[in-house]
Amino acid sequence: MKSILIIIVAYFFIPCISIAAQPIDRQHDTSLLAREKKNSKTTRSQDSEESLDFSGTGRPGQQTAGESRGSCANTSDSLKALMPVSHSGKTVKGHPSFWVYFPYTSQQVSKVEFILQNEVREDIWRSPVELDSNPGYKNFSLPKTEPPLEIGQWYRWYVKVYCNSQVASSQYVQGWVNRVPLTSKLYLETQKDAQKSHLIYGSYGIWYDAIDKLLSLYQQNPCNLTLERDWQNLTKAKGVQLEQLPKVKASFEPVKPLTIN
């Protein structure tokens, strides 16, 4: 009788134990799969970061403005061009943007000028620009009304700051840009995922378009952790030494050419 009772009890309780154990096994498998996916994503992310390479043959340029010879106000930061240490980079755009960290308010300088020249130093564009009153990251570009940069050609660009009315008081940054063809593969990739186009341009070594897309997004979302990570990866990439840049804040109005009568 006792044996029969044990068998009956076992009959009812053993399936419950098995059923209860099954979710634990599935949970373990799910947890393991999640960890494998995470590790895979981390590996792909690290591979992507390591693939960023903006090194190249150096050209004469100036990434950071030196000591002013005029009366520019003293600031803790310097005028700084966002470009690789080679002072040069690529673009696929006919009217690319060039980013500069501008440490002054509009009241602290008398004039700011953007200049674009061909390789033999002939002016393609030269114009004073209008700034908002706040320091921060500013982008300068050739107006869309002007002919685009030619594919395969090198151009030199400057941003000059005049600390007072004397020409000798200017300080400046300067760099180079080379327009390269936009391949159908690159075009399709950027169209497929516009929010990550900065990563795509970066993977192709297209510096000016990568920094333009990323900084434009980041200024609109300065608290976005993904964009913060992408910013850190881009400014620390091979061939780039921009780790000490000031923090990115919300954007202001872009610079505009002055209308000269």
pLDDT tens profile 21-70: 444 344 444 454 455 444 444 433 444 455 788 887 666 666 677 654 55
pLDDT at 151 over 80: yes
Side-chain-facing half-sphere of 174: CA atoms under 13 Å: 18
From the CB of residue 129, how many other CB atoms can be counted at a distance below 10 Å?
A: 16
* Percentage with pLDDT > 90 across the chain: 51
Q: Where are the beta strands (DSSP E) in 92-166?
A: 97-102, 111-118, 123-130, 136-141, 154-162
pLDDT confidence band for 134 (50 / 70 / 90): confident
Give the fold, CATH level 3, of 80-256.
Answer: Immunoglobulin-like (2.60.40)
Where along the chain do its domains lie?
Answer: 80-256
From the CB of residue 106, how many other CB atoms can be counted at a distance below 10 Å?
A: 14
Q: What is the pLDDT of residue 258?
A: 61
Rg of the chain's alpha carbons, rounded to an integer?
A: 28
Helices (H), the chain: 2-51, 184-192, 197-203, 207-220, 225-235
pLDDT tens profile 189-234: 999 988 899 999 999 999 999 999 999 999 999 999 999 999 999 9
pLDDT tens profile 240-256: 989 889 989 876 556 66
